[in-house]
A and B are shown apart, each in its own frame.
Chain A
Amino acid sequence: MSTRAATILVSFLLAAHPALAEPDLSGIWMLSGRALAGDLVMTDRARAIQEDYDLLVDDPSLACEPASISRVWANPNVRIEFSQSDDRILINYEFYDLRREIPIGGSDVAEDVPSTKNVDGTRFSKMGSSFARYANDRLIIETTNHTAGFIRTSRGIPQSTQTVAFEELWLEGEVLHLSLTYIDDTLFEAPFILTHEFTRTGETNLPLYDCTDANYDWFEKLNAPQSGEFP
């Protein structure tokens, strides 16, 4: 199935829920438990990218940058703040101080620029451009226009410019569920699905993360042979 066909199908399925109130996601949340990953069947291209990937060198985290939407959702022990208005969803991630502003509506409301920037105003194209809609008791966020990145940095699972991501968020009691579906027929033989759960922290402020010197260049210089010294 092509990316386009799969996208239409997933979009249809996500909308097919009984009529219920829109979820009130406002507040600060934190990942609880571990992310679960569904079946992953990668194409030859994805496997080649994965084989080339070196976590110790290629992980965007080393530059204090998000590798993908998935990577940001999956980080433990950091707060995620939701605020909703009639025409926007704002998701503030403590991780890397990211601010993700998502318009509500059809694909025509999606903006050309990446939806995510940090508090300094730097935009991150690996997080793509998103728009959202409510499907009864669920919030659906659709994201395209990614640049190449990694859905899972620990395993080198890639994303490409053709990747489409659907984030489906809903509440069950005090638990916020997220199902994240990645579709990209250049990388995956079938949609790749990750699920997460979050609980409210009860906090009202999102502290600054202030990512600092995430790479190891300074450290590796300490043990590097001095000039003129045999390695």
Chain B
Amino acid sequence: MKIVAMMALLSFAVMANAHHATVTNFTKEVVTVEGVIEKVRFQNPHASVLIKNVSEDGAETYWLIETGARTTLERKGITLDGFPIGVKIKATGLKGRRQYTIYLQEIEFEDGRKFTPDGETADKQDRAIRAELVTMADDFVNLRMMQGFAYEMPLAEAYRWQDEMVEIMEPTLGTVVGYKTGGHDPGPGFATFPPDGIRAYILSGMLREDGHAIKISDSKVGFLEADFAFRVGSADINQAETDLEILAGLDAIIPFAEVPDPYYDPDTRSINGTIVANMGTRLSITGKPHPIEATDEWLERINNFTFAVLDENDRIVQEGAMADWYKPITVVRWIRDQIAASGKELMPGQILSLGNVGIIRQIHEDSPRGPAYESHQFRLEYYGLADDRSLSVTINIDR
């Protein structure tokens, strides 16, 4: 067990802030213990974080990291929301007279962030992040380059800040109408996506109808992306277990293409920055929803349909097959579980964009990602989903 023991002077203020008699329940010895968060208790009379320490020989010991009462922390504006289960931390504090207890002085996360129960450090950092988010949101809405997000933090924390970013953008870009995800294809992945996928919000003000004509000036680094989406039909999807049960929670396929605009300072891009910036989600173009059924036959269709992008002269720009990309229901399950980890549930009517199906075209001439698309239309067609026709969604380019 890694415990670094140090002697330190007791802070009188710390003693006075405890519910129980800190001076008698805890010694003057300062100890540091590492462990993985097992439980967070934000309650009276003591808020606490339970961690499990595993020694080099595999012995497991639970430590209770105690702090003030919930009431006291709330008065300081402190919560324990930033302590996700499973995250490794290093806790420092006064060693308890009760075995394996500590009165918290400081918790350090693996990425170097620190939490103290006096609220000053946490508040200061939170205020700084909020100020950055306001600037990022303003830059994004006004087509200015977003500065990267420099804070290191667990993904769950980054998604919490994404929530705040979206709240800041909602008055301008509308309310949440769904989610988009990326990074589920079998390719090598993106350096700025978490390895198992990423998600962002779709807001009502981002939606455009089938056939919408975009202007080059609508985005700064935007590109045309062929996607695939479902519509949530029932809240039962939140409890669904099997693929068919998940399918039963969806009521329609939505032909879906988008124009993301990840306009970040390229030198400061990061995974957390991509999350917090809501993946630069700019415009989502939706076709006519097509009803689906919860049958094995529909699962087969969904897993094996084909698609193509065509230009205004019906020339095929690129084509592909879903079987080469991802299992759509698996991705739906991932989105559902991912937002559930943030305390949210899918709701009927929400759009779930499952991400790119391998067709991307740049709009801007100077894109480092490839040559600009010269045609005036980007028409995405899906084959094998409807019985007698293709489904489609079209983006026109107004040059």
Which residues of A come within 8 Å of B, CB atoms? 34, 55-56, 59, 61, 64, 75-78, 94, 153-155, 207, 209-214, 216, 219-220, 222-223
Which of these, B21, B25, B62, B72, contacts A222 with CB under 8 Å? B62
28 A–B pairs (Cβ distance < 8 Å), ordered by A: A34-B16, A55-B21, A56-B97, A61-B19, A61-B45, A64-B45, A75-B19, A76-B17, A77-B17, A77-B19, A77-B69, A78-B69, A78-B71, A154-B21, A154-B24, A209-B44, A210-B43, A213-B43, A214-B46, A216-B64, A219-B50, A219-B64, A219-B100, A222-B50, A223-B61, A223-B62, A223-B99, A223-B100
B389 on the interface (CB 8 Å rule)? no
Query: How near does chain B come to A31, taking the closest CB pair, in angstroms?
Result: 9
Task: Please list the 10 inter-chain residue pairs (A to B) with the smallest Cβ-Cβ separation, ordered nearest first.
Answer: A154-B21, A77-B72, A222-B62, A154-B24, A212-B43, A209-B44, A219-B64, A214-B45, A211-B44, A223-B62
| Given known A61-B20, A154-B23, contact A216–B98 (CB-CB < 8 A) | yes
Which residues of B come within 8 Å of A, CB atoms? 16-21, 23-25, 41, 43-46, 50, 61-62, 64, 68-69, 71-72, 75, 97-101
Excluding A154-B23, A154-B24, 5 further A-B contacts by CB distance (< 8 Å) are A61-B20, A76-B18, A77-B19, A219-B101, A223-B61
Q: Which residues of chain B come closer than 8 Å to A207, judged between CB atoms? A: 71
Q: Which residues of chain B come closer than 8 Å to A216, judged between CB atoms? A: 64, 98, 101
Q: Which residues of chain A come closer than 8 Å to B75, judged between CB atoms? A: 77
Query: How near does chain B come to A172, taking the closest CB pair, in angstroms?
Result: 22
Number of A-B contacts (CB under 8 A): 62
Q: Which residues of chain B come closer than 8 Å to A94, judged between CB atoms? A: 71
Query: How near does chain A come to B354, taking the closest CB pair, in angstroms?
Result: 41
In this complex, what residue of B is CB-closest to A216?
B98
In this complex, what residue of B is CB-closest to A34?
B16
| Given known A34-B16, A153-B21, A154-B24, contact A77–B45 (CB-CB < 8 A) | no
**A200 CA to B245 CA in the complex, in Å?**
57
In this complex, what residue of B is CB-closest to A30?
B75
Contact indicator A55/B25 (Cβ below 8 Å): yes
Which of B50, B61, B75, B97 lies at the interface centre, i.e. has the most chain A CB atoms within 10 A of its CB?
B75
In this complex, what residue of B is CB-closest to A31?
B16
Query: How near does chain B come to A171, taking the closest CB pair, in angstroms?
Result: 23
Q: Which residues of chain A come closer than 8 Å to B101, judged between CB atoms? A: 216, 219
**A212 CA to B45 CA in the complex, in Å?**
7
In this complex, what residue of B is CB-closest to A207?
B71
Q: Which residues of chain A come closer than 8 Å to B69, judged between CB atoms? A: 77-78
**A75 CA to B19 CA in the complex, in Å?**
7
Query: How near does chain B come to A41, taking the closest CB pair, in angstroms?
Result: 21
In this complex, what residue of A is CB-closest to B73?
A77
**A155 CA to B25 CA in the complex, in Å?**
11
Which of these, A56, A209, A220, contacts B71 with CB under 8 Å? A209
**A214 CA to B25 CA in the complex, in Å?**
14
